[in-house]
Amino acid sequence: MLQVEMNVEEHVRSILRSIGEDPDREGLQKTPSRVVEALSFLTRGYRQDPEEIFNGALFTEDYEEMIVQRDIDFFSLCEHHILPFFGKAHVAYIPHRKIVGVSKLARLVDVYARRLQVQERLTNQIASTIMDQLKPLGVAVVIEAEHLCMRMRGVEKQNSMIITSTLLGAFRNRQETRAEFMNLIRKSI
């Protein structure tokens, strides 16, 4: 076991004691190692390079119409409370001589979602990486998410949805392009 993992486990044991629990009782004995394993899984995006997602999956194609991948499920952790937020990402781009394999957009969402995040940054990171890597005519990202830090604590508002967007290139500059994207991601399709 790595020294870092042992330190984190000891901190988890300390947290359990501080809330009045006995970390040595049967149900909690393995909790510190489970927390380490869960945190490692939920933050694996730090160990992934977003730019490598596109390596080997960029293709030259004479296609300059909108490509949309809608309803990409994701899970993330709010950096303020380390509580989950989750929802759907909708990603679009208008290629300029380069397209990317269809699974790569969803993989990119996961790389950034599997870090401590705020939804606004997550939205920007996805759009900026696509813009930098593909050099398309435009990129649009809309994220709809529920935040457990708002449901379980604080204002305790159930059924509240946060929506963020980043629009670059043609999606920002052309109202009709933006409108087409918004129409395509509506649930009625």
Give the tens place of pLDDT for each residue, 28-51.
999 999 999 999 999 999 999 999
pLDDT tens for each residue of 81-93: 999 999 999 999 9
Residue 149 has pLDDT above 50, yes or no: yes
- DSSP annotation of 54 reads T
Element spanning 3, H or E: helix 3-18
DSSP code at position 29? T
pTM: 0.92
Cβ neighbours for 95, distance < 8 A, ≥ 6 positions apart: 61, 63, 64, 67, 134, 136, 137
Active-site annotation, residues:
78-81, 119, 147, 149
Residue with tokens 């194609």: 61
Beta strand spans in 79-161 (E): 84-94, 98-100, 116-117, 138-147
Q: Please give the share of the chain, as a percent, with pLDDT higher than 70.
A: 96
Residue 189 has pLDDT above 60, yes or no: no
Task: Enumerate domains of the chain plus CATH numbers.
Answer: 3-42 (1.10.286.10), 50-185 (3.30.1130.10)
